[in-house]
Structure 1
Amino acid sequence: MKRIILSLAFIFIGQIFLYASDIQKCKQQIIDWHLSSIFSDEGLTDEIIALTDSGSYIDLSVKELFLNIRLPEQMIYHWVETQTENGYWRDIDYRDKNPSGWAPSFHVMRLFHLAKAYQSQQMSTYHSDKVLAAYIRGLRFWVSFTLTCPNWWYTEIGVNKMLGPALLLMENLLPEDLKIQGVEQLNRSKIGMSGQNRVWLAGNVVYRALLQNDEILLKEARDVILSEIYITTKEGLQPDYSYHQHGPQLQFGNYGLAYALSMTYWTRAFRNTQFSFPDEKIRIVGNYILNGLNKVVWGGYMDYSACGRQFFKNAQRGKALALAQSLADMSVVTDTVSAQVYKIAYRNILIPPSSVARVEGTMAFYRSDMLVSKVGDAYFSVRLASPWSIATEAGNGENLKGYYMGEGVTSYMRNGSEYENIFPFWNWRRLPGITVPDDTIPLPLLTWDGYRNDSTFAGVLSSGTAGVAAMILGRDGVSGNKGYFILGNRMFCLGNSLQTQAGQSLITTINSTYLEGGMRWRTGNNKMDRVDDDFSAYIRKPVILEHNGWRYYITENQTLNVAIAPSQGSWHEIARFYADKVKQDTLFTVTLNNDSGKYEYMVMPANDNNQEIDYSQVKITNTPLVQLVEDIKDGTVCGVCYRPGLFPLKKSLLKVRYISLSGQALFILQKEKDGGLKISLSDPTRRQKSISIGFSGRYKNGLYDKRKNITFFEVEFPQGDKAGKEVSVFIKR
C-alpha cells in the first residue's frame, strides 16, 4: 500500500513538473517569436515603419507589422529621452476618446518595443539600463490608471494584446507589485464573444495564465482558441477555403487574415508541449492559408477586392506582408517537406514577381462568388454579388464609396502595385469590370448589412486551368448578362441584354489604374502609335491598346473611351478617420458605352516582343441565350448557358459540332490526354437538382439519340451547403 501511495505521489509530482516545464516552454516560445523578425532580417524595417505610419495604422493585422520588426535604436532612445519622470509621453493624448486609433494605446505599444529592444541581442539597446528604467516607469504609469476607450475592442483586446507580450518579455525583471498590477490589467480581457473576437480575448487570457503559472486557466483559454479551428458554412472558415464574417461575406483581408495570424502564432507558442494543437487542426489552418489567402496575393500585394471594407492606405502591401508572417510561422510548425512549400510562398511575397516561377492555375471560391487566376506572369480576379453572398459592407466610417464592389469587379496585376493607394483617385462608378448607369449622382452609403444582387443567377467555376464567372445584373433597375472567361493568361469579358428600367445609358469599365508611361494603340492592321491624350470614338474595326504591361483587345462596333487625366481625391472620402487633405495623381481609364446593350473585350499581358494577338484563334458567341469562348488552338470551350437550348460550336477541335443543356449552367469543356472529354459544370442558380447535357455524336455511358445524333448525360448538381460547387464528368467516344 505504501508503495502504491508513493508511486502515485511521484506521478503527481511528475505531472506538476511537466505542467511547469510546458508553461515555461510556452513562455520562451512566445518570447523567441517576438524577438525574431523575418522583416528586419529581409531589410524591410524602414518600409514597414513608413507603411504603418510608425504603428498608427488602423487595421490590426497591418499594425502588428510594426510590432514584428526591430526598431532603429534612435527611435528607442528618442522615447527614452522624451519620457517624463512620471513615465508618460507628452506627445500622447491620454484623454483621447477616438474609437478608431485610440491614442493611449500607443503608450503600451512603446512599452512593448522598449521590452523588445532591451531583450534583443541584435540591438545596441540590449540590456540597456536606460531602456529598462524607461520601461519600468512607463509600466508604473500605465497600471496606475484605468483608461477606457469608448470602443470596447481597444480596452479588452487591442491594448492587452500588446501588454501581455510586453510583460512576458520582462517578467524576470518586474518587481512583484508591478507584475501583479500588470496582470490585473490583463484581467480586463475575459473569454467571450464569437469568431475572431473570441480568439483574441482567449489569447489575452493565455498571457495572464502564463504570468500566473495557472495551467488550468491556460488549458481553458487554449481550448477556446483551438475550438475555432473548423470548417463551417456559417461565419468562419468555409469549405472552399474562403472566410466569412458578418454573414456570408468574403473577409479574406480583414477578419480572415487576423484569424490566420492568430492561429499560426498560437500554433508556434504551444508547439512541442502538451498544449500543442493536433496535426489535423494545423492542416486545416495551413490549407486555408495556402489555398485561400495566398491565392489572392500577387507580387507582394493583396487583391484590393479581397480586402473587405478596409480600403486603407497601403492596405494591399501591408496585408500581403502580414500573410508572409503567417506563412513563415507555418514553415516552423509543419514537416520538412511542407515547410519548404510555406517558405517558398512567403518568399514569393517578399521578392519581385518577375523572379518567381508560378504555375498555379485558376481557383473558384464558390462560397464567396470569387474567381482567381494565377498563370504565368499575370493575375486575374472577378468578384460578384448574389442573393447568397454579400458583396461588401460599410461601417466605422470605412468603405464610404464601395457601393458597386460586387458588380463584377475585376483585378489585373503583373507587378502587384497596379492599384495600391488608388482609392482616393478612383471614380467609384468606374471600377474595373463593372457595368453601371453613366451618371454623377452621389453614391449611396452602404451599411453593416452590405448588399446582395437581387438576381438569382451568379456563380463561378474552375477546371484548374480555365475559369468562368457570370451573373445576371439585378440591382437599381439595371439588368443584363455579364460573363468572364479565363483561358490561360487571357480574360474575355462579355455582356449582353444590358438595360435600365429608367432608360439610362450604361457604361462598362475595362480598367482604371495609374498612368505609367504612355499608351499605345492601333486599329486593324495599322502600326502601334503612342497616345498621350483622351479620346472617344466609335470603332468599326478591332482596337488594341497597350499600357503598363497589359494589352486590351476591343472588338469592332463599340464606342471606346480612353481617359488619361489627373484625378483629385481625399482619403477622408474613403474612410472618415483620415484627414481631409486633397491629393492628385494621373489615371488611365478605359470604358465602353453600352448603347447597343452589349460589349466584348479581352485582357492579357503584353509581351515584351510586342507579339500580335491572333484573335482568329478564338471564337466568341455573345447572345441572350448563351455566351461561349472557344479556343481553337487547344480546344477548350468556356460557356454560360442563360437559357436551355442547343448551341453550335464554331470550330471545335474537340469534334463536337454542338452542345445542348436542359438548364442554366456555367461549363468548361476540355480534351483529356487519353482523347476523352472533361466537362466541368456549376449551377449559378443553386436551385437545380440536375441537368441534362448533350454532345453531338455517339459517346460511351450516355443515352444516345440516333435521330438527333446526340448523346445525353444526366449530371447531378451538388446540393445544400455545396450548391454552386463544381462537378465534373468524363466521357469517351
Structure 2
Amino acid sequence: MEKYRSILLRNTVKDNNVSNIVDRFDKSTGKWKDLNYQDSDKTGWDPTTHIYRTSYLSYAFFDEHSDYYKDDQLVNIINLSLDHWLNENYENRNWFPMQVSIPRSLLNTAILLGDKITQANYQNILDYASKVKIYKAGANLIWLADNVLHYALLVGDENKAKEAIAQIVNEIQIGAPSGIQKDYSFYHHKERLQQFSYGGAYLKISARIAWELDGTSFALPQEKVDILRKFLTEGMWWMARGEYTVPPTIDRACSRKDALKGTVSIETVNFLKDLDPENPAPYESILKSLTSPLPITPKGSRAFYKSDILTHHSENGSFFIKMLSDRNLPAESINGENSKGKFMNYGNTYFLKNGKEYYNLMPFWNWNFLPGFTYVKETEAYNRHPFTGSLSADGMGVAVMDYELEDKDGNRALSAQKSWFTYKNVMIAMVSNLQSSKGESTTSLDQSLWAGWVKSGEKVFPTSGDYDITNEGWVYHDGFSYGSTSAKKFGVNLSNTKASWGDINIKYKGEAPSQKKVFLPYIKHDSDNFDYYVANVPSLEAADNLHQQPFWKILSNSADLQAIEFNDGIIAGVIWTPNKEMKVGKLTVTSDVPVYFIKSSSGLTLTTPNPAHKNFNITVNGQRHQIKNNFLKGTLLPF
C-alpha cells in the first residue's frame, strides 16, 4: 500500500484545470453544473466524469507544485461530491465504468485522503468497491483484480488479497484466448489485435502490481516477469515508433483523441527494469526511444503471424502492414466508437518518421481510402481468406493477402493478389491478377497529415487539389517518396478537410467541426498487374535518385508468382500457384501448396499461413524437401 500510494502521489495537475473544476462545482447540490447526470451513453458517460474530477482534486491536494496544495477547500468539494454521487447510486449499462474505472478512482481517493474523507463517505467507498468481482479474462481480469486487491488491502482481508494476486499471476501467460499470444501480439475480444489498448492496460497494471509485490512473500515468479519483459521487447516495441503507434494496433480506440500517442509509459518500463536487473539493455533502449527526439527502434522486419501484422524499422522510418485472414476478426465498431471503420485493417499500410503522421487524423480520413486499401465503387464488405500472412528473416519482411471485396448483394466487386516486401528503407507493393466488376479501382498509397511541400521533380503542389503525376511517376512528401512505373494513373490529392470527432465516436457528439490538411497519393487501375513503392528518404534529390535507380528488381508480378530481387542478392517472393515450376533468380521452385519465402545468405526461409498445411513439400533446384511448417517464424532450408 505504501508503494501504491507513492505512485498515486506522482500524479501532477494543471492549476487552470483545477480552477475550472472548482468554479463549475455547485456546493448546494454536490454536482458539477456542466455535467449531464441523466446521460445514458455507454461511452463518455458524464457521471463518470464526476468521479474523475473528484480524483483529480485529490491529486491537486497533494501536488506540491500546485497553488492548490493542501488547500482545504478541495477536501470540502471532494466530500460534497462524494456525498452526492454515492447517495444517488448512478448506474450505467456498460460494465466497465461500474466495475473498473469508478471503483478504481474511488479507491484512489480513499487511499490518498484517508480520514480527510468523512467516515460515511469512506465506508460508502468501501461498500461500493466490495461489489467488484473477478469474473473476466485477459486485460479485463487484470483491471478487476487490481481493484479487488487494493480494496482487500484497505480492509485488511488477506485471503481476498491472496485470491486477487493468484488470479493475476495465473493470467500472465502465453496463448490464452484473450491475452499475450505466442508471437507477443495481444488478443482481446477474441482474435483481434489490441496491442496498445487492452494490451497496454494489461502490461501497465501487471508491471505495476509486480513492482508493488516485489520483496514480499507474494512477489511474482521470475517466469512471469520474463513474459512481461518479452511482451514489451518482442511485441510492444516492434509495433511502435517511440511514443507513437498506428491505428491497427489499437483497433476501435483509434477513434479516441490522442490514442496514437499511448504506446507504453516510462513508468511501466522502469517498473520492469527494477524487477529485472539481469536484463537492463532492452529497457535502456526503450527508455531512450520514449524520450529521444529521434526514436530508437529495433532494426529490420518482424512478422506477427497470430495477428496478421508485419512491422519494419530502419533508423529514419517505420512501416506497418496490417492484413486480415480468416484466422483474425475485423476491427470493432461498438459502444458508439469507430463508427466508420468497417474497412479497417484490410490490407492497410502506415509509414512513420516523427510519429505524428496519423496523430488525431482519423475524423478527417476518407474512410473508403484508408492507407493501402484498394477500393472500387459499391464496395460494402470483404472476404477473409486463409492465404494471408507474413514472414520475416534477416532484416527483411514479406506480407501477402488474398484480397476480395463484395457489393451489398454479396457479389464479388473486386479481387486481387497483394504482396508487400520490406527491406532497408523501402516497402515495395505488388498487386497482380486484379479483377473488378465495378470498373476502375483506386488504391490509396497513404492518407496522412499533409505537412509542408509536396513535390515531384520540378513540380511543386502547394495548394489543395487533385494532381496527375503519372508522367513523373513519383512524389515526395514529409520525408517519404511514393513511386510507380506501372500505374495506369498515378495521382495525389491534397485537401483541407472539415470534420468532427463526433462523426466517428459518440463520446464527442456535438463537438464543432474543425479542419486538417490531408495528403493522399493514389493509383487508379482497372485490371491486370501493377506495383509501387514507399521509401523513407532524406531529400527530394534522394527521392529522384531512388526512382531513377532503384536497388531492387521485380522478377515477376503475375497470378502465379510475385518475386523481387535486391542488389545485394536477397530474394523474396510469393508462389500463388501450387504444383507449377517457378523460376526465381537462380532458383527453380515447385511447391504443392501456395507459399511465400525469403532467400538470403542464411538460406531459404519459407512458410504458408493456412493452419491446414502443417506439412508440405517443396522442390528447389531438383531437390525435394518435406517441410514441417513453422507458422510463427518460417522453416529454414540451408543453401
Scaled by the length of structure 1, the TM-score of the pair is: 0.80
Q: Secondary structure at the match of 1:511?
A: coil
Seen in structure 2, the aligned counterparts of structure 1 residues 458 and 141 have a Cα distance that, compared at 3 Å, is same
Q: Secondary structure at the match of 2:363?
A: coil
Q: 1:511 aligns with which of 422, 446, 453?
A: 446
Instruction: For 1:133-148, list aligned pairs within 5 A.
Output: 133-148=76-91
Q: CA deviation at 1:87?
A: 4.2
Equivalents in 1 of 2:130, 2:613: separation in Å?
53
Q: Secondary structure at the match of 1:92?
A: coil
Matched, 1:209 2:209: no
Question: 2:253–2:259: 8 Å Cα contact kept in structure 1?
Answer: no
Question: 2:493–2:521: 8 Å Cα contact kept in structure 1?
Answer: yes
Seen in structure 2, the aligned counterparts of structure 1 residues 357 and 156 have a Cα distance that, compared at 3 Å, is closer
2:286 aligned residue: 345
Equivalents in 2 of 1:193, 1:391: separation in Å?
22
Seen in structure 2, the aligned counterparts of structure 1 residues 358 and 610 have a Cα distance that, compared at 3 Å, is farther
Equivalents in 2 of 1:311, 1:317: separation in Å?
7
Matched, 1:680 2:597: no
Question: 2:288–2:296: 8 Å Cα contact kept in structure 1?
Answer: no
Q: 1:157 aligns with which of 70, 88, 100?
A: 100
Of 506-515 and 237-246, deviating more is 506-515
Equivalents in 2 of 1:403, 1:521: separation in Å?
33
Seen in structure 2, the aligned counterparts of structure 1 residues 537 and 105 have a Cα distance that, compared at 3 Å, is closer
1:690 aligned residue: 615
1:479 aligned residue: 415
Instruction: For 1:241-640, list aligned pairs within 5 A.
Output: 241-320=184-263, 322-335=264-277, 337-339=278-280, 341-353=282-294, 356-437=295-376, 439=377, 441=378, 453-476=383-406, 477=412, 478-500=414-436, 502-522=437-457, 528-532=458-462, 534=465, 537=468, 539=470, 543-556=473-486, 558-580=488-510, 581-608=512-539, 610-611=541-542, 612-613=545-546, 615=549, 617-620=551-554, 621-632=556-567, 634-640=568-574
Question: 1:430–1:509: 8 Å Cα contact kept in structure 2?
Answer: yes
Equivalents in 2 of 1:692, 1:585: separation in Å?
52
Equivalents in 1 of 2:138, 2:322: separation in Å?
24
Q: 1:71 aligns with which of 3, 13, 18?
A: 13
Q: CA deviation at 1:184?
A: 0.9
Of 370-379 and 604-613, deviating more is 604-613
Q: CA deviation at 1:610?
A: 2.2
What does the per-residue CA deviation read over 1:538-589, in whole Å, with 9 as the maximum and x for residues that have no partner? 84x6722111111112114521122123323332221233235333333221
Question: 2:487–2:531: 8 Å Cα contact kept in structure 1?
Answer: no
1:714 aligned residue: 626
What does the per-residue CA deviation read over 1:700-719, in whole Å, with 9 as the maximum and x for residues that have no partner? xxxxxxxxxx333332213x
What does the per-residue CA deviation read over 1:365-419, in whole Å, with 9 as the maximum and x for residues that have no partner? 1001110011121110111111111131211121122122232100011111111
**One-letter amino acid matched to 2:628:** E
1:7 aligned residue: none
Question: 1:206–1:218: 8 Å Cα contact kept in structure 2?
Answer: yes
Q: CA deviation at 1:327?
A: 2.3
Q: Secondary structure at the match of 1:400?
A: coil
Q: CA deviation at 1:85?
A: 5.4
Matched, 1:731 2:638: yes
What does the per-residue CA deviation read over 1:65-121, in whole Å, with 9 as the maximum and x for residues that have no partner? xxxx40024543554564515644333333333322222222322332232233344
Question: 1:387–1:452: 8 Å Cα contact kept in structure 2?
Answer: no
Q: CA deviation at 1:313?
A: 4.2
Q: CA deviation at 1:601?
A: 0.6
Seen in structure 2, the aligned counterparts of structure 1 residues 192 and 582 have a Cα distance that, compared at 3 Å, is same
Question: 1:117–1:123: 8 Å Cα contact kept in structure 2?
Answer: yes
Question: 1:249–1:390: 8 Å Cα contact kept in structure 2?
Answer: yes
Question: 1:665–1:682: 8 Å Cα contact kept in structure 2?
Answer: yes
Q: CA deviation at 1:122?
A: 4.5
Equivalents in 2 of 1:139, 1:557: separation in Å?
64
Seen in structure 2, the aligned counterparts of structure 1 residues 399 and 96 have a Cα distance that, compared at 3 Å, is closer
Seen in structure 2, the aligned counterparts of structure 1 residues 577 and 143 have a Cα distance that, compared at 3 Å, is closer
Seen in structure 2, the aligned counterparts of structure 1 residues 131 and 587 have a Cα distance that, compared at 3 Å, is closer
Of 241-250 and 557-566, deviating more is 557-566
Equivalents in 2 of 1:452, 1:260: separation in Å?
33
Seen in structure 2, the aligned counterparts of structure 1 residues 252 and 546 have a Cα distance that, compared at 3 Å, is same
Equivalents in 2 of 1:239, 1:479: separation in Å?
31
1:22 aligned residue: none
Q: CA deviation at 1:224?
A: 1.8
Seen in structure 2, the aligned counterparts of structure 1 residues 147 and 536 have a Cα distance that, compared at 3 Å, is closer
**One-letter amino acid matched to 1:493:** A
Seen in structure 2, the aligned counterparts of structure 1 residues 330 and 616 have a Cα distance that, compared at 3 Å, is closer
Seen in structure 2, the aligned counterparts of structure 1 residues 135 and 408 have a Cα distance that, compared at 3 Å, is same
Question: 2:51–2:105: 8 Å Cα contact kept in structure 1?
Answer: yes
Question: 2:173–2:224: 8 Å Cα contact kept in structure 1?
Answer: yes
Q: Secondary structure at the match of 2:539?
A: coil
Equivalents in 1 of 2:346, 2:52: separation in Å?
40
Seen in structure 2, the aligned counterparts of structure 1 residues 139 and 569 have a Cα distance that, compared at 3 Å, is closer
Of 229-238 and 408-417, deviating more is 229-238
**One-letter amino acid matched to 2:480:** W
1:34 aligned residue: 8
Q: CA deviation at 1:31?
A: 0.3
Seen in structure 2, the aligned counterparts of structure 1 residues 273 and 464 have a Cα distance that, compared at 3 Å, is farther
What does the per-residue CA deviation read over 1:488-522, in whole Å, with 9 as the maximum and x for residues that have no partner? 1110000011113x343222111122222222214
Of 119-128 and 543-552, deviating more is 119-128
1:183 aligned residue: 126
Question: 1:542–1:556: 8 Å Cα contact kept in structure 2?
Answer: no
Matched, 1:649 2:578: no
Equivalents in 2 of 1:499, 1:682: separation in Å?
26
Equivalents in 1 of 2:285, 2:42: separation in Å?
39
Matched, 1:218 2:161: yes
Equivalents in 1 of 2:498, 2:61: separation in Å?
45
Unaligned runs of 5+ in 2: 407-411
Q: Secondary structure at the match of 1:332?
A: helix
Unaligned runs of 5+ in 1: 1-26, 37-68, 445-450, 523-527, 651-655, 673-677, 697-709, 719-723
Q: Secondary structure at the match of 2:233?
A: helix
Q: Secondary structure at the match of 2:505?
A: coil
Equivalents in 1 of 2:125, 2:322: separation in Å?
46
Q: Secondary structure at the match of 1:170?
A: helix
Aligned-residue Cα RMSD (Å) equals 2.5
2:175 aligned residue: 232
2:409 aligned residue: none
Q: Secondary structure at the match of 1:349?
A: helix
> Number of residue pairs matched?
625
Q: Secondary structure at the match of 1:610?
A: helix
Equivalents in 2 of 1:78, 1:397: separation in Å?
28
Seen in structure 2, the aligned counterparts of structure 1 residues 327 and 692 have a Cα distance that, compared at 3 Å, is same
What does the per-residue CA deviation read over 1:676-727, in whole Å, with 9 as the maximum and x for residues that have no partner? xx2111213332233333444xxxxxxxxxxxxx333332213xxxxx3222
Equivalents in 2 of 1:93, 1:496: separation in Å?
54
